[in-house]
Amino acid sequence: MKFFNRQRISLIPNKNLKKYMLYAIGEILLVIVGILIALWISNWNKEKELENANLDLQQKVLNQLTTDIKALGDFQNEIDSLNQTYRKVLGREYDKSKVNDDAVITTVLFDVNTLTLDKHINNLVENSILDDSKASQELIELNSTYKLYLKDIDDIERIIYKKMTDNLAEIEKTQPWYTELITDFVCRNDCINYLLNDDTHKSRLASLRFLYVNAYGQIIEGFQNDLINAKEHLQMAIDQK
């Protein structure tokens, strides 16, 4: 092949060689420019696709934040109602409108109130390719916020669950009516008197109330406030584009 190329060049008159070389160089430059343009278009398309994907992600996160903020508010109301039930059992002033008198015993003995909030935003952020925008930085910080609060929530729920099971274990060990209560869900006068008036039982309930209201409740309140702020910052970052 090289032989034929050399032969081809030898057939070109000397006076036309310069023009031929310029023509060949021009063709090469055109090919290079074409490749560069094609690469630029490809990169531009990829950047546009990434931008659109991030805009879609940001909107999904905003929508989920609205849902989660409401869920946190609803759970705060649940904790407040639970607090009123504990206050009644502990002989303190309470809001009667928030207490179901027929469910007081089952509430303080068996009900474990927990937040129903999944890791949807964590999954959205961690399974996406983020650009280098301010909004993406807000999403990264938001992802960390969720992880921290969900860890704290898991920890306090384990503590509360153990406290409730320990209370039942103490009743099982000391009270003869426990079998009837746990088997038939019947609480007669001796059962009611113990649950509502025994000082040691009240002390255990006071600890449970503290865990719910002062520990769990404060975590939920802080979580909600931080999500409200995060939503505002994310919206501002999106609007500034």
Does the pLDDT value for residue 204 go beyond 60? yes
The pLDDT > 70 percentage for the chain reads 89
Question: Using one digit for the tens of pLDDT, what is the confidence trace for 126-156?
Answer: 998 888 889 999 999 999 999 999 999 999 9
What is the structure's pLDDT at 136? 92
Question: Using one digit for the tens of pLDDT, what is the confidence trace for 40-63?
Answer: 776 777 778 878 888 999 999 999
Query: What is the rounded average pLDDT for all residues in the chain?
Result: 88
Which one is predicted more confidently, 139 or 5? 139
pLDDT category of residue 25 using cuts at 50, 70 and 90: confident
Q: How far apart are CA 9 and CA 13, in angstroms?
A: 9
Q: Once rounded to an integer, what is the mean pLDDT over residues 92-114?
A: 90
pTM here is 0.81
